[in-house]
Amino acid sequence: LEILVPMAGLIDVAAEQARLDKEIGKLEGGIKAVGGKLGNAKFVDNAPDAVVAKEREKLAEMESAVVALRAKREELAALA
């Protein structure tokens, strides 16, 4: 269930965009770190399969979160 509330005039759009930018930056840093691990053949070969799978899952979650946050940011830009 998704409830939509008109946000125009209720929030500080610039502040919310800045918050989203900060969160996106943090996630992109995490993506870079996890991607670096998974790009390291030595890590992938030597780590237990469960650890590698968990890192891949973490990477996928962070990537989808970035996509969602960017979409929210674009929605906010339309309000400005």
Per-residue pLDDT reduced to its tens digit, 61-72: 999 999 999 999
User: Burial of 76 by CB count in 10 Å (0-12 exposed, 13-18 middle, 19+ buried)?
Assistant: middle
The pLDDT tens digits of the residues spanning 30-68 come to 999 999 999 999 999 999 999 999 999 999 999 999 999
Structure confidence at residue 1 (pLDDT): 83
Find out whether 79 and 13 touch, Cβ atoms under 8 Å.
yes
Residue 31's identity, in one-letter code, is: I
**The residue to which tokens 């870079």 are assigned:** 32
